[in-house]
Structure 1
Amino acid sequence: MPHFAHVSLILAPDRSKLSKRHGATSVGQYREMGYLPEAMNNYLALLGWGDGTENEFFTLDKLVERFTIERVNKSGAVFDSTKLRWMNGQHLRARPSEEVTKLIGERWKTSGFLTVSEGPFVEELISLLKDGIDLITDADKVLSNLLSYPLHSTLQSEEAESAIQDNLPEFCASFLAAYDSGDLVGALEEGQAGWKNWVKGLGKSTKRKGKSLFMPLRLLLTGKLHGPDIGAAVVLLYQAGTTGVIAPEVSFVTIDERVKMLREINWETLSKDHVVKETASTV
């Protein structure tokens, strides 16, 4: 005969009894939200139980091997949705790479971002972005962020102040001259190796290196001050604009279009605006 036992109540963050008002309550809802079965098993097993170590990542087989009724706690356990999301990310990245690629690639095609669900472009895209994906549904947001080009809003932000004051207009002119020569496009055709060589040459010609070189480059090419590896990102952005893998419905700004936008910036007015903001903030 099997033996049954009750574990303690699962509590909400406010330590009240967990109920519908605290969010999703069925397995089906969590599946629709992008949670994996193995992550749910792992997390639920740790609500009121532990194996006596700091380890929190368990496969189902390992849970069966390590579980003992003696280590079940009597006090209620708090359901932490942030912890569950983190754990789902661990299990997602623990799956075979080809399986993760298939899941995310199909997601992007179904969501209308890509015209393909597999191939070298998709594989490199996932390799670049996977650390920011804890749920399959997160894939849409991270790809949308990579493809976006919020140049003007970033330039108007206070965070961009230091980059603008570091002779960004002059650096932009050097960048545009390098682009007009055809060297950048030729480098991007060669992939990341070509990009690295091109950046090295630009650094020498502008007498910049490290942050003073890569920060303005990231800003001009991606429209952002932060993001994944700049080399891998720019190569993928170039490919996205030349291979037809981005669905027509996506408002994607190609590298050529980004360069056109850079030519239209009134750097003098922008610099004056930042000076006014800085003066106002000190008054």
Structure 2
Amino acid sequence: MSNIRVRFPPSPTGFCHVGTARMAVLNYLFARKHGGTIVFRSEDTDKERSSPEFEEDILDSLKWLGLSWDEFYRQSERTEIYRAALRTLIDEGKAYVSEEESKKEAGVKVRIIRLKNPGTKITFTDIIRGDITFDTTELKDFAIARSDVDPLYHLAVVVDDADMKITHVIRGEDHISNTPRQILIQEALGYPRPVYAHYPLHLSADRSKLSKRTGDVAVRSYREKGYLGDALLNYIAVLGWTPPSEREILSLDEMIAEFELKDLHKSGAVFDLEKLRWYNREYLLQKTDEEFAVYALPILEDALKERGVAWDSAMGQNILHIIRERISVGDDIKNFAAEGEFDFFFADPLLDSTRIPQKGVGATDTTRHLEAVRQLLGDLAESAYRDAETIKGAVWDYATAEGRGAVLWPLRYALTGKDKSPDPFVVAHIIGKEVTLRRIDSALKNLANV
């Protein structure tokens, strides 16, 4: 293929959602695969709903996903081109002005421009679906402009595609019904017909059309939740497309190398939020320690400050490996922090004396075990706390002899104030000798009051 030209044609009437992103991804992969040109066309003819804010969001969201384009246009800046096309159609008797009652204001007459529909059968070849035939008679004479300075969607799209020399129109299957109208306008104006490819839409878990409730939310929402742009891009790309290599994780360049429109599935794929979380986790695991710190620490710091927990950047660095093991997306850090899962690394826990002993073990025996553990851990040099296994080794024989639960439960609770937490030896390693011994002393003091 040569001189391939495709378009990203979003309407800036809302934030960039997953459906818009997928349209852009598939067009991008196809164009870059064949050395083609990508045209970004902001279809802002809906004056009431379009806004610069939404346009900027779409541009920013697609850039965040790693996409780019070669040319940029706004339909609102191309009115004269549409007027010329309308004059041609009217002058040649292929369209006419119709005075009709307004659909918005009863009793008010408006002048609509309608295309004279020849009522022919139209067949076009879709790369994904094969030949599709429509009897256009049922479309009647459809409106193409509200006035000679206010074109409707179908006319503006057709004129733009021709003027911008678009060769391939790649879009969702919900646009199939638009195609016969657009072909009729193309034929009336003598424009060449582009190649069409209508891909299936993403589906929710119950196989209904994807909605905001089931995943078709704004890309910015995923970004705010801590998803990575390359992870979301990867998932959107392979959802409904099986690369020849059958790999799930691919870089953008790898996707370009493998992509072919004919490999897109003919039925809709289910948008699975859990699968997206899996993708994001895979991309997080690929990050270096430094990259992960840049990603995770600001989220953790903000979340702890919201709880009134004093921030310690060194401690934040120390627990990054624990965070990396537990999360799939940035919001997980916020949620764990909101539940107090990290508090004990930054501040001594408030202990409930009744929860210090393991169930079935009395306060007297628990006190004896904690005193023994304190002695064993107190005998360790400060340098021994650099290794969790060394700390474990100091306590393990005693815990095995006396009953691991009876010994390690109160140690865990003393250090964390939690019934469930990371390994107590790991916690001791992270918080250090001084804090470890201080917390054991606090637990013993609490037990003395039981």
Question: Fold match, TM over 0.5?
Answer: yes
**Cα separation, 1, equivalents of 2:282 and 2:391:** 36
3-12 vs 37-46, which moves further: 3-12
Residue in structure 1 matched with residue 230 of structure 2 by the alignment: 38
Q: Is the 8 A contact 1:147 1:237 kept in 2?
A: no
Residue in structure 1 matched with residue 369 of structure 2 by the alignment: 174
- Counterpart check, 1:228 vs 2:410: no
Residue in structure 1 matched with residue 299 of structure 2 by the alignment: 107
Q: Is the 8 A contact 2:240 2:265 kept in 1?
A: yes
Gapped regions of structure 1 (runs ≥ 5): 243-253, 270-283
- Identity between Structure 1 and Structure 2 (%): 28
SS in 1 for 2:249: coil
Change in CA separation of 1:92 and 1:256 when aligned onto 2, cut-off 3 Å: same
Q: How many residues align?
A: 247
Residue in structure 1 matched with residue 446 of structure 2 by the alignment: 264
Residue in structure 2 matched with residue 250 of structure 1 by the alignment: none
Residue in structure 2 matched with residue 63 of structure 1 by the alignment: 255
Change in CA separation of 1:202 and 1:96 when aligned onto 2, cut-off 3 Å: closer
**Cα separation, 1, equivalents of 2:246 and 2:405:** 38
Residue in structure 1 matched with residue 343 of structure 2 by the alignment: 147
Residue in structure 2 matched with residue 131 of structure 1 by the alignment: 325
SS in 1 for 2:205: coil
Residue in structure 1 matched with residue 211 of structure 2 by the alignment: 19
Q: Please state how far the C-alpha of 1:75 moved relative to its aligned partner.
A: 0.8
SS in 2 for 1:63: helix
Greater strand share, 1 or 2?
2
Gapped regions of structure 2 (runs ≥ 5): 6-167, 171-196
**Cα separation, 2, equivalents of 1:209 and 1:166:** 11
| Larger relative contact order, structure 1 or 2 (CA cutoff 8 Å, min sep 6) | 1
Q: Is the 8 A contact 1:88 1:134 kept in 2?
A: yes
Out of 281, 306, 317, the residue aligned to residue 89 of structure 1 is 281
- Counterpart check, 1:48 vs 2:240: yes
Q: Is the 8 A contact 2:363 2:447 kept in 1?
A: no
Out of 168, 179, 198, the residue aligned to residue 6 of structure 1 is 198
Q: Please state how far the C-alpha of 1:234 moved relative to its aligned partner.
A: 2.3
Greater helix share, 1 or 2?
1
**Cα separation, 1, equivalents of 2:439 and 2:367:** 15
Trace 1:237-248 onto structure 2 (pairs within 5 A): 237-238=431-432
Give the CA RMSD over aligned residues.
3.6
**Cα separation, 1, equivalents of 2:245 and 2:448:** 60
**Cα separation, 1, equivalents of 2:259 and 2:216:** 27
**Cα separation, 2, equivalents of 1:255 and 1:79:** 50
**Cα separation, 1, equivalents of 2:317 and 2:248:** 29
Q: Please state how far the C-alpha of 1:115 moved relative to its aligned partner.
A: 3.2
Question: Max radius of gyration: which structure?
Answer: 2
The one-letter code of the counterpart of 1:200 is G
SS in 1 for 2:207: coil
